[in-house]
Amino acid sequence: MNALLAPWNTPFKLPPFDQIKEADFGPAFEAALTEARQNTTTIAERNEAPNFANTIEAMEQAEAALDRVAGVFFNLSGADSTPALEALQRELSPKLAAYQSEIMMNAKLWARVRALTPEGLSAEQARVLELYQKMFRRAGAELEGPAKSRFAEIMQRLATLGTGFTQNLLADERDWSMPLTERDLKGLPDDVISAAKSAAEERGETGHVLTLSRSLITPFLQFSPRRDLRETAFKAWVARGENGGKTDNTALALEMLALRNERAKLLGYENFAAYKLDGEMAKTPEAVRALLMQVWAPAKAAAEADATRLTEMMHTDGINEALKPWDWRYYAAKLQKEMHDLDEAEVKPYFGLDNMIKAAFDVASRLFGLSFTPLDVPLYHADARAWDVKMGDRHIGVFIGDYFARSSKRSGAWCSRFRAQSSMGQEIRPITVNVCNFAKPPKSQPALLTFDDARTLFHEFGHALHSLMSDVTYGFISGTSVARDFVELPSQLYEHWLSVPEVLTKHARHVETGAPMPGSMLKRLKAAENFDMGFATVEFISSAIVDLDFHTGAVPNDLMAAQAASLAALGMPNSITMRHASPHFAHIFSGDGYAAGYYSYMWSEVMDADAFEAFVEAGDPFDGETAARLAKHIYTAGGSKDPEALYSAFRGEMPKVEALLKGRGFGA
pLDDT per position as a tens digit, 155-192: 999 999 999 999 999 999 999 999 999 999 999 999 99
CA distance linking residue 543 with residue 589, whole number of Å: 13
Q: What angle do CA 511, 515, 517 make, to 5 degrees?
A: 90
Residues 529-544, mean pLDDT to the nearest whole number: 96
Tens of pLDDT, residues 310-340? 999 999 999 999 999 999 999 999 999 999 9
CA distance 563 to 502: 44
pLDDT for the residue 444: 86
Distances 217 to 238, 345, 420, 447 between C-alpha atoms, Å: 11, 15, 35, 16
Compute φ and ψ for 430, nearest 5 degrees.
-80, 155
Confidence check: pLDDT of 295 > 60: yes
Q: Which residues neighbour 216 within 8 Å (Cβ) at sequence distance 6 or greater?
A: 192, 195, 196, 199, 210, 405, 439
Q: How far apart are CA 389 and CA 370, in angstroms?
A: 7
Same structural domain, 262 and 356: no
Is there a domain that residue 147 lies in?
A: no
Q: Is residue 25 part of a domain?
A: yes
Distance CA 635, CA 632 (A): 7
Coil vs helix vs strand at 374: strand
For residue 532, what pLDDT band results from cuts at 50, 70 and 90? very high
Among the ranges given (111-120, 259-268, 434-443), the one the predictor scored with the smallest mean pLDDT: 434-443
> CATH number of the domain that 288 lies in?
1.10.1370.10
Q: Are residues 471 and 324 in the same domain?
A: no
| Residues 100, 25 share a domain | yes
Q: How far is Cα 273 from Cα 264, in angstroms, rounded to an integer?
A: 8
Give phi and psi for 396, each to the nearest 5. Answer: -115, -10
3-state class (DSSP) for residue 386: strand
Cα within 13 Å of Cα(473), Cβ side: 14
* Backbone φ and ψ of 509, nearest 5°: -120, 145
Domain match, 510 and 552 both: no
H/E element, 571: none
645: how many CB neighbours lie within 10 A of its CB? 13
Q: In this structure, what DSSP letter does residue 635 have?
A: I
CA–CA dist 553, 252 (Å, integer): 18
The last residue of a domain, from among 596, 625, 647: 596
Q: Are strands 385-391 and 370-375 parallel, antiparallel or unpaired?
A: antiparallel
> For the chain, how many structural domains are there in total?
4
**391 SS3 class:** strand
Spatial contact of 549 and 578, defined as CB atoms under 8 Å apart: no
For residue range 111-144, what is the model confidence (pLDDT) as tens digits? 999 999 999 999 999 999 999 999 999 999 999 9
d(CA 432, CA 396): 11
β-bridge pairing 431-438 and 414-419: antiparallel
Residue 618 lies in a domain: no
Please tell me the predicted confidence (pLDDT) of residue 81: 95
Continuous segment of H or E residues that includes residue 178? strand 178-180
pTM of structure: 0.95
Q: Please tell me whether residues 478 and 512 are part of one structural domain.
A: yes
Please provide residue 28's backbone torsions phi and psi, each rounded to the nearest 5 degrees. Answer: -65, -40
Residue 27 gets which letter from DSSP? H
Clarify whether residues 369 and 513 are in a common domain.
yes
DSSP string, 394-445: EEEEEEEEEEE--TTS-SS-EEEEEE--B-SSS-B--EEEEEEEEPPPPTTS
Range(s) of the domain holding residue 277: 246-340+532-596
Half-sphere exposure of 495 (CA within 13 A, CB side): 21
Q: Answer yes or no: is pLDDT of 61 > 70.
A: yes
- What is the four-CA torsion angle of 327, 328, 329, 334, rounded to 10 degrees? 90
**Domain containing residue 368: CATH number:** 1.10.1370.40
Count helices and strands in the chain by DSSP H and E runs: 27, 7
Identify whether residues 219 and 250 lie together within a single domain. Answer: no
**Residues 361 and 479 both lie in one domain:** yes
What are residue 603's phi and psi, to 5 degrees? -60, -45
pLDDT of residue 668: 52
Q: Can you state the percent helix, strand and coil of the chain, rounding each to 5?
A: 60, 5, 30
In this structure, the dihedral spanned by the alpha carbons of residues 73, 77, 82 and 85, taken in order and rounded to 10 degrees, is 50
Per-residue pLDDT tens digits for 568-590: 999 999 999 999 999 999 999 99
> What pLDDT, on a 0 to 100 scale, did the predictor assign at position 443?
87
Residues 42 and 94 in one domain: yes
Catalytic residue among 57, 60, 63, 460: 460
Residue 638 counted as domain residue: no
606-665: pLDDT as tens digits = 999 999 999 999 999 999 999 999 999 999 999 999 999 999 999 999 998 988 898 899
Phi and psi of 100, rounded to 5°? Answer: -60, -40
Asked which of 547, 579, 596 is the last residue of a domain, the reply is 596
Please indicate whether residue 173 is annotated as part of the active site: no
Are residue 571 and residue 585 in the same domain, yes or no? Answer: yes
Residue pair 444/411 in contact by the 8 Å Cβ criterion: no
| Residue 538 confidence (pLDDT) above 90 | yes
The tally of CA atoms less than 13 A away on the side-chain side of residue 573 is: 27
- Residue 48: give its domain's CATH number: 1.20.1050.40
In whole numbers, what is the pLDDT of the chain averaged over residues?
96
Helix pair angle (285-316, 325-340), 10° resolution: 70
User: Count of CB atoms within 10 A of residue 218's CB?
Assistant: 18
CB count within 10 Å of CB 426 equals 6
> Is 662 within a domain?
no
**Closest listed residue to residue 367, CA positions, set 398, 386, 391:** 391
Residues 261 and 209 in one domain: no
Q: What is the DSSP letter of 513?
A: T
CB burial of 151-165 (b: ≥16 within 10 Å; e: otherwise) equals: bbbbbbbbbbbbbbb
Q: What integer pLDDT is reported at residue 553 of this predicted model? A: 86
- How far, in Å, are 347, 369, 407, 581 from residue 289 at the CA level? 37, 40, 37, 19
Of the residues 527, 551, 574, the one at which a domain ends: 527
How far, in Å, CA of 472 to CA of 467, rounded?
11
Strand 178-180, strand 208-210: pairing: antiparallel
Which residues lie closer than 8 Å to 210 by C-beta, 6 or more apart?
A: 177, 178, 180, 196, 199, 216, 217, 220, 233
Q: Is the pLDDT of residue 416 over 70?
A: yes
Angle at alpha carbon of residue 598, lines to 76 and 454, rounded to 5° = 60
Q: What b/e readout covers 337-355, taking b as 16+ CB neighbours within 10 angstroms? A: eeebebebbebbbbbbbeb
Using one digit for the tens of pLDDT, what is the confidence trace for 334-378? 999 999 999 888 999 999 999 999 999 999 999 999 999 999 999
Whole-Å CA distances, 661 to 46, 537, 614: 55, 11, 17
Residues in the chain, total: 668
The verdict on residue 156 lying in a domain is no
On whether residue 151 sits in a domain, the answer given is no
Segment among 32-41, 347-356, 436-445 with least mean pLDDT: 436-445
Cα dihedral 354/358/360/366 (nearest 10)? -170
Q: Specify whether 452 is located in the same domain as 482.
A: yes
Burial class for 514, CB neighbours closer than 10 Å (0-12, 13-18, 19+): exposed
pLDDT of residue 663: 87
Residue 475 lies in a domain: yes
